[in-house]
Amino acid sequence: MIRELVVRRRALAEIQRARHEYDPLGHGRRFFDDLELVLEAIQAMPLRFPVVYGPIHRALLRRYPYAVFFRIRPITMTIVILAVVHQRSDPANWPRP
């Protein structure tokens, strides 16, 4: 079952920033393709990704050191993408419930 996906502004800004960093290296499109695969996997089976704290799940990109943080709205089962962050970033800046 494919669920509705909502991407927060913060996550969109982080995606654009990361793609902008990879574009000069010729990897901007590959980064975006890898992210797209992860988002599709989240939509198809969100509960397969581990809960990292509270109701927030984390999915890792395969080729790039980024993590997608998301939560699932309980009634509507809508998936909300909260952030897409570099794994070496300060965990204090990661989304909190």
Range 21-41 average pLDDT: 91
Pairing of strands 5-7, 79-86: parallel
The pTM of the full predicted model, rounded to 2 decimals, is 0.90
Q: Give me Rg for the CA atoms of the chain.
A: 13
Range 13-35 average pLDDT: 90
d(CA 78, CA 92): 26
Q: Is 54 helix (H, G, I), strand (E, B) or coil?
A: coil
- Interval 36-78: pLDDT, tens: 999 999 999 999 999 998 999 999 999 999 999 999 998 888 9
Range 15-37 average pLDDT: 90
- Structural domains in the chain? 5-93 (3.30.2310.20)
The chain-wide mean pLDDT, for the chain, equals 89
